[in-house]
Chains A and B, each alone.
Chain A
Amino acid sequence: MTTTRRDLLTAALTAAGATVTPDFTHAQGRDHDHDHDHQVAPSDPALRVKALESLLVAKGLVDRVALDALVDTYEHKVGPRNGARVVAHAWADRAYKQRLLTNANKAIGELGYGGAQGEHMVVVENTATVHNLVVCTLCSCYPWPVLGLPPVWYKSAAYRSRTVIDPRGVLREFGLELSDDVEVRVWDSTAELRYLVLPERPGGTENMDEVQLAALVTRDAMVGTAKVTAQRGGSRP
């Protein structure tokens, strides 16, 4: 399999008119925990993908306009602001929160969200005594309809490997220190269930409306690597 795959990549590159072979060795100089470094080799995959796309268009297998629409959807329409609206609504409406925790798909659907990589949603609630944290050790499974596409750290070997064995250590790297008497529940997305953390509503937000509340909710808080604070209004992730 190795030879075949390498041949394919080389061939695709040749087809793109490049003069160098894919350089898998340059990556060894990188930090081994940082699996994405687009500064080092920007052109190789770009050329390979361009050649591939042209071939698939020529064969009538893909439509460029549809590809543009897919990129646009996940760059501009589907992202963590969706999840933040869900969280804010749950904070503001007790009955909605109950529906969200018992039938997440239906409740998230009430706000118009759902679909690819969120077909089977589960929402878990953080409290003063329970902290939930989501990971996918086998892959990079992530609830796209409410959080968008996953960030690089979520897909990194570092996060995928250590979150189950040392969740408190991983959280410390995000600047979150949990007391020993808080129970940590790690959710490994090994099946088709996709997890969203309902963070604790911070104090001092009693007079805020849902729009103001949603602006406080970060992506990381909905994965479980951060808490929501009343002071971080509008900051992302």
Chain B
Amino acid sequence: MNGIHDMGGMQDMGPTRPEKDEPVFHEPWEGRVFALDMALGADWSGNAERYQIELIPPADYLRMSYYEKWLTSLLELIVKTGMVTRTEIESGKATESNTKAGHMLSVAEVAPLVATGSPSTRNVPAVAHFQAGQRVRASNVNPAGHTRLPRYARGKLGVVEHDHGVFVFPDTDAHGLGEKPQHVYSVRFAARELWGKQANRRDSVYVDIWDDHLEAA
């Protein structure tokens, strides 16, 4: 989706302002949202969650803090997956039996969850259509759903630097359309190819791109 989340190349967002001695969480509720999301996250795809955040309307997306966005998507996802009903969220009272009897993360499972994460590589055969050193063009596509091909790279010429191996394809996985595992490549784009002569001729941007989003050039 050509949404506000796809920010690469915009110039009107002001200067970056690092905060001195920044805490991990600025308020206790931020930590609770983070923990709730981690504890419940096994019940949906991380790609579906990202898409849910991308659906936040642009004006809200820019105004909300990071964890407000997480909270917004969390509320949607727990309803979508049948964990709670909207009525329950309205009333604050548990009235429906928990039909989606998902596994409840126990304290003993926290350390293994943190230490393992959820790898996105898949040990399945997939044809690598490109190889290191090859010139490629990022496809000029404009998917309406979740995609990992940023707008600024579309249609641009680059060189494959490295084949990272076979990964789940977020563009389909986010929408429940299957994992469609395929190769992901590190593609180097000269900064001048992306931005023209204003860029330093030595500079480059490396983008990780799925096989489906590349064409031979």
Q: Contact: A50 with B109, CB < 8 Å?
A: no
- Expressed in whole angstroms, the minimum distance between the Cβ of A171 and any Cβ of chain B is 9
* Closest chain A CB from B98 CB (angstroms): 5
A 181-192 binary contact with B (CB < 8 Å = 1; else 0) = 111111111111
Is residue B126 contacting chain A, with contact meaning CB distance below 8 A?
A: no
Determine whether the beta carbon of A59 is less than 8 Å from that of B83.
yes
Interface residue from A2, A38, A55, A157 paired with B92 (Cβ < 8 Å): A55
What mask results when residues 110 to 145 of chain B are scored 1 for a CB within 8 Å of chain A, else 0? 110111111111000000000000000000000000
Interface string of B63-107 (1 = CB under 8 A from A): 111111001101110110001101011111110001000101111
Cβ-defined contact, A55 with B11, below 8 A:
no
**Chain A residues in contact with chain B, CB under 8 A?**
1-2, 4-5, 7-9, 11-12, 14-16, 24, 27-28, 31-38, 42, 45-46, 48-56, 58-63, 65-71, 73-75, 78-79, 114-120, 122, 135, 137-140, 148-149, 151-153, 155-168, 170, 173-174, 180-193, 220, 225, 236-237
Check if B197 is an interface residue, CB within 8 A of chain A: no
A190 near B118 with CB under 8 A, answer no
Write the B10-49 contact mask toward A (1 if CB under 8 angstroms, else 0).
1101111111011011111101111110111000000000
Binding site for A on B (CB under 8 A): 5-11, 13-19, 21-22, 24-29, 31-36, 38-40, 50, 53, 55-57, 60, 62-68, 71-72, 74-76, 78-79, 83-84, 86, 88-94, 98, 102, 104-107, 109-111, 113-121, 148-150, 152, 164, 167-168, 184, 186, 191, 194-195, 199-200, 202-210
The docked-state distance in angstroms from the alpha carbon of A9 to that of B56 is 12
How many A-B residue pairs have C-beta atoms within 8 angstroms? Tell me: 334
Q: Would you call A24 and B206 a contact (CB within 8 A)?
A: no
Chain B residue with the shortest CB-CB distance to A167: B203
Q: How far is the CA of A181 from the CA of B201 in the complex (A)?
A: 9
Cβ contact of B13, chosen from A118, A162, A191, A192, cutoff 8 A: A162
B105 touches A66 (CB 8 A): yes
Q: Name the distance in Å between A165's Cβ and chain B's nearest Cβ.
A: 5
- In Å, the complex CA distance between A99 and B173 comes to 33
**What are 5 of the A-B contact pairs (CB < 8 Å)?**
A27-B64, A37-B65, A50-B29, A69-B110, A119-B120
Q: How far is the CB of A199 from chain B (nearest CB, A)?
A: 17
Residue numbers in B under 8 Å from A60 (CB-CB): 98, 104
A218 to chain B, nearest CB (A): 11
B99 to chain A, nearest CB (A): 10
Check A193/B208 contact, CB under 8 A, given A116-B117, A117-B117: yes
Given A116-B114, A184-B203: A155 and B66 interface contact (C-beta under 8 Å): yes
User: Do A55 and B94 have beta carbons less than 8 Å apart?
Assistant: yes
If the complex has contacts A79-B24, A160-B7, are A5 and B203 also in contact, measured as CB distance less than 8 A? no
- A70–chain B nearest beta-carbon distance, Å: 4
Least CB distance, A123 to chain B, in whole angstroms: 13
State in angstroms the CA–CA spacing of A237 and B20 once bound together. Answer: 8
Contact A32-B13, Cβ < 8 Å, known A55-B94, A191-B184 = yes
| List of B residues within 8 angstroms of A70 by Cβ | 34-35, 38-39, 110, 114
CB distance from B100 to the nearest CB of A (A): 8
A74→B164 CA distance, assembly (Å): 28
Residues of A within 8 A of B14 (CB): 31-34, 157-158
Evaluate contact between A67 and B39: CB separation under 8 angstroms: yes
Name the A residues within 8 Å of B110 (CB-CB).
Answer: 66, 69-70, 73
Closest B residue to A34 using CB positions? B17
Q: In the complex the two chains form, is A148's CB within 8 Å of B13's CB? A: no
* Residue pair A158, B16 in contact (C-beta under 8 Å): yes
